[in-house]
Amino acid sequence: MIAHRRILVVEDDPDTADQLIDSLTSSGYRVDLAASGTEALTRGVAGDYAVITIDRMLPDIDGISVMRQLRDDGVVAPVLIISALGEVDDRVRGLRAGGDDYLVKPFSFVELLARVEALGRRSETIVKETILHVGDLAIDLVSRTASRRGKHIVLFPREFQLLEYLVRNEGCIVSRAMLLQHVWDLHFDPSTNIIDVYVGRVRRKVDDQQAYPLIHTVRGVGYCLRAPG
Amino acid sequence: MSGTVSVLLAKTLTSSTFKLALIAIGTFGVIVSVIFSYVYLSTSAYVRGRSDRAIMLEYSSLQGAYERSGREGLLALTQQRMADSSFSGDMYVLADPSLAVLGGNLKVWPPTVTETSGWTEFRAAHRLLNETNRPLIRAMVGTFPSGDRLLVGRDISDLDSFTDLIKAAVISGVALIFVLAGVASILVTRRTVGRIESINATSRAIMLSGLDKRIPLRGSNDEWDRVAENLNLMLDRIETLMGEIKQVSDNVAHDLRTPLTRMRGRLEKAYHGQRVAKDDQWLIGETIGDLDAVLRMFLSITRIAQIESQARKDGFRNVDLVDIASEVVELYDAAAEQDGTRLTVIADREVLATGDRDLIFDAIANLVDNAIKHGRAEGQVVVAAENVDGKPVVSIADDGPGIPTEEYEHVFKRFYRLEHSRYTPGNGLGLSLVAAVARLHGVKIDLLDNSPGLKVKLWFSAIVR
């Protein structure tokens, strides 16, 4: 498990690299830094990393090419490409279709952590259960129903999908963009507070008149579903 | 004034039109020279040939007379020729082997003629004229078996001056053509250079002083006027765009100043005040929120610019607008519920269009968001996806106050806000994004009065099956 908490950060700008290392380290990751594409190739093959983050614009090799080369060399760790909006082309957008992801600059570090967390989990084995439990919440993946303390919660299909995604990422921060991406399959950052309103309604259905709240707002980023204690 | 004229002349002489004219004149001149030289050479050859034939004819008839009846017969024939009223002025000389003249109309055998047979030319002896002005004689000389020599000649000074005349005419003709063509090309080039100079002068004036100048038209309705017209139209367009850019940057400055001032004030107060953990937490949270708003604004601007650069056409697929519209309605259902708005969707079974799902979703979402925000409280918003006359159409209608007709053309401008206050939430970029997505997809946007309310219709182009 410890081995899976190692992260390779590929970033040529020293300030950005410091900030990345700082926030990842404080979240319990062990971070290695590669300041160029060539260094990334050497380190990527040598170390067993849970996630690799690569800046799109490196001085020597293009970030996407570094990722391709790592794959060719047999590195299976999921990759998070960090790109300026102007550099988001089809190759970058295509990442989300596979097991990888991208993040548009400027980003909040909570969002970065959420995405790295999600990518890291993806490489672990997914438990094949039909009913998931968080605290007194139970969701049935087969009948697509949810209940708290045995009391049925009425949800629209999309609302159930949203709750399922939150439950699957129990204890982790899920950003608005991640929700939009996984629940609606939309790949842009919403400019309005629409996701908040939507989650608000799900939250009312799930948390109103219960012993404790499950869905928590993470200011400025998104949400986290967790049981108390 | 003479300074400007000489500058204009210098520009004329260095202009590309003039260089082209020179090349044309050169080519044309060579062709004309070749043609005229041919005329000259063939004319003089013809004239000489005629006179040579006449001399040869005369020589052979005299030769015949000599062979038939000797010296006397020949001399008799020459006497007869000279006595003839139509005597052409030919020269005859018969001389013995020692070149002593036996008869004819020359007193001595021409001293320069040493040939024994064939053609020769010499200046006739003349007591009144000096060497060069003496008539030029072309003659045929022959020697009989007895050793007697016969010379038959003719004054060809006239022929010579005739060919000289042709030569002079040809040379002066060619020279005249060159001069006329040169003058004509200078005049034409000067006119061109003059027009270009007026365009150049206006361009310089525009660069120096501003976009309000226009290139003057001459009313000649020629290609120069059309060039000037188009340049003026371009200047109009640039002036409008510059105005819009100024408006946009004013708005950006305003929209940035508001959150930045707020953040600064908050931080300054905290800096001078007491450290209270709870207040600091709140302050940091609010500041991050304001910064996010600023960053979102930049993100929206970049996104619109990216869409406008047409870079995303490769993500185009056939999409069902009914699906997208329904998903947008589903996403906004909660927001509508919060506002008490009834949000419904009317749809055909399938409405296919070609495009980028994310972008179309975003555009429709922005319009629905506007309809809910700016529509009547407790009102109704209807999203429709239909095929109208074979064209896929998505329309979003509310029953709110709507917008005045005269504002229709402005609402898609970046940062444009209807109320002209800039203090309500939102950054005025939503409809610009809709407009950019529409342009990328070739979608025509209609704004209609829903009486009451506003109806926005997006006319997609039918897919190619």
| pLDDT tens, residue by residue, A15-61 | 889 989 998 998 889 999 999 999 999 999 888 888 999 998 888 88
Q: What is the CATH number of the domain that holds B280?
A: 1.10.287.130
Residues A59, B228: Cα–Cα separation, whole Å: 48
pLDDT score of B131: 59
- B295 part of a folded domain: yes
One domain for residues B419 and B346 = yes
pLDDT score of B280: 85
Instruction: For residue A205, give how far its alpha carbon lies from the nearest alpha carbon of chain B (Å).
Output: 12
Q: How confident is the model at residue B101 (pLDDT cuts 50, 70, 90)?
A: confident
Question: Which backbone phi and psi does B228 adopt, to 5 degrees?
Answer: -60, -40
Residues A44, A65: Cα–Cα separation, whole Å: 13
Asked whether the predicted pLDDT for residue A69 surpasses 80, the reply is yes
Structure tokens at A195: 């996701």
Domains in chain A, start-ordered, CATH in brackets? 2-122 (3.40.50.2300), 131-225 (1.10.10.10)
pLDDT score of B311: 64
CB contact under 8 A, B292 and A108: yes
User: Which of helix, strand or coil describes residue A2?
Assistant: helix
Nearest CA in chain A to B428: A191
Residues B217, B199: Cα–Cα separation, whole Å: 10
pLDDT score of A2: 42
Contact residues, chain A, for B289 at CB < 8 Å:
219-220
- Do the beta carbons of residue A42 and residue A49 sit within 8 Å? no
Asked whether the predicted pLDDT for residue B411 surpasses 90, the reply is no
Residues B163, B150: Cα–Cα separation, whole Å: 29
pLDDT score of B2: 59
| pLDDT tens, residue by residue, B38-89 | 988 888 888 888 889 988 998 898 888 888 888 888 888 888 888 887 777 7
One domain for residues B236 and B261 = yes
Asked whether the predicted pLDDT for residue A101 surpasses 50, the reply is yes
Under an 8 Å CB criterion, which residues of A touch B? 85-86, 88-90, 93, 104, 106, 108, 156, 158, 184, 186-192, 194, 197-198, 200-201, 219-220
- Do the beta carbons of residue B392 and residue B353 sit within 8 Å? yes
pLDDT score of A192: 67
CB contact under 8 A, A194 and B331: yes
Asked whether the predicted pLDDT for residue B382 surpasses 90, the reply is yes
Asked whether the predicted pLDDT for residue B366 surpasses 70, the reply is yes
One domain for residues B249 and B348 = no
**Residues B204-211: what's their mean pLDDT?**
83
One domain for residues B228 and B256 = yes
- Do the beta carbons of residue A68 and residue A159 sit within 8 Å? no
CB contact under 8 A, B330 and A85: no
CB contact under 8 A, A194 and B296: no
| pLDDT tens, residue by residue, B284-314 | 888 888 888 888 888 888 888 888 776 667 7
- B130 part of a folded domain: no
Residues B420, B400: Cα–Cα separation, whole Å: 18
One domain for residues B320 and B455 = yes
Burial label, B460 (beta-carbon count in 10 A; 0-12, 13-18, 19+): buried
Instruction: For residue A220, give how far its alpha carbon lies from the nearest alpha carbon of chain B (Å).
Output: 6
Contact residues, chain A, for B327 at CB < 8 Å:
184
Helix (H) or strand (E) run with residue B323 in it: helix B321-339
User: Which of helix, strand or coil describes residue B374?
Assistant: helix
One domain for residues B354 and B446 = yes
Number of domains in chain B: 2
Instruction: For residue B352, give how far its alpha carbon lies from the nearest alpha carbon of chain A (Å).
Output: 19
Residues in chain A: 229
pLDDT score of A122: 64
Helix (H) or strand (E) run with residue B268 in it: helix B223-272
- B338 part of a folded domain: yes
CB contact under 8 A, A104 and B289: no
Contact residues, chain A, for B311 at CB < 8 Å:
89
pLDDT score of B360: 92
Residues B419, B305: Cα–Cα separation, whole Å: 25
User: Does A106 sit behind a cis peptide bond, omega within 30 degrees of 0 on the bond before it?
Assistant: yes
pLDDT score of B387: 92
> From the CA atom positions of chain B, what is the Rg in Å?
51
- B347 part of a folded domain: yes
What ipTM was estimated for this complex?
0.75
More confident residue, A190 or B272: B272
Q: Which of A106, A197, A219 sits opposite B285 (nearest CB)?
A: A219
**Residues B253-280: what's their mean pLDDT?**
84
B285 and A CB contact within 8 Å: yes
Asked whether the predicted pLDDT for residue B425 surpasses 70, the reply is no
Contact residues, chain B, for A184 at CB < 8 Å:
327, 331
| Residue ranges making up the domain that contains B335 | 313-459
User: Which letter does DSSP use for residue A215 in this model?
Assistant: E
One domain for residues B344 and B438 = yes
User: Does B97 sit behind a cis peptide bond, omega within 30 degrees of 0 on the bond before it?
Assistant: no
- B133 part of a folded domain: no
B356 and A CB contact within 8 Å: no
Q: Which of B296, B314, B357 sits opposite A90 (nearest CB)?
A: B314
Structure tokens at A194: 């629409």
Instruction: For residue A179, give how far its alpha carbon lies from the nearest alpha carbon of chain B (Å).
Output: 12
B179 and A CB contact within 8 Å: no
Q: Which of B292, B300, B332 sits opposite A194 (nearest CB)?
A: B332
User: Cα torsion at B428, B433, B438, B440 (round to 10°)?
Assistant: 150
One domain for residues B352 and B410 = yes
- B355 part of a folded domain: yes
Q: Which of A186, A197, A220 sits opposite B334 (nearest CB)?
A: A197
Q: What is the CATH number of the domain that holds B412?
A: 3.30.565.10
pLDDT score of B423: 47
Domain end among B281, B308, B335: B308
Q: How confident is the model at residue A123 (pLDDT cuts 50, 70, 90)?
A: low
B428 and A CB contact within 8 Å: no
Instruction: For residue A104, give how far its alpha carbon lies from the nearest alpha carbon of chain B (Å).
Output: 9
| pLDDT tens, residue by residue, B89-98 | 788 888 888 8
More confident residue, A32 or B3: A32
Nearest CA in chain B to A87: B306
Closest CA to A148 of A167, A130, A165: A167
Q: How confident is the model at residue A3 (pLDDT cuts 50, 70, 90)?
A: very low
CA B113 to chain centre: 70
What is the maximal distance between C-alpha atoms in chain B? Answer: 156
Domain end among B274, B308, B342: B308
- B384 part of a folded domain: yes
DSSP B23-59: HHHHHHHHHHHHHHHHHHHHHHHHHHHHHHHHHHHHH
Asked whether the predicted pLDDT for residue A134 surpasses 50, the reply is yes
More confident residue, B300 or B445: B445
- B167 part of a folded domain: no
Separation in Å, CA B108 to CA B1, B92, B137, B147, B151: 75, 11, 14, 17, 11
Residues B219, A145: Cα–Cα separation, whole Å: 80
**Residues B110-118: what's their mean pLDDT?**
82
Domain end among B308, B343, B358: B308
Separation in Å, CA A104 to CA A97, B296, B314: 16, 12, 20
One domain for residues B339 and B423 = yes
Instruction: For residue A215, give how far its alpha carbon lies from the nearest alpha carbon of chain B (Å).
Output: 17
One domain for residues B421 and B320 = yes
One domain for residues B319 and B445 = yes
Nearest CA in chain B to A184: B327
Instruction: For residue A100, give how far its alpha carbon lies from the nearest alpha carbon of chain B (Å).
Output: 19
One domain for residues B247 and B260 = yes
Residues B422, B156: Cα–Cα separation, whole Å: 106
- Do the beta carbons of residue B397 and residue B454 sit within 8 Å? yes
- Do the beta carbons of residue A166 and residue A135 sit within 8 Å? no
Structure tokens at B438: 């529409």
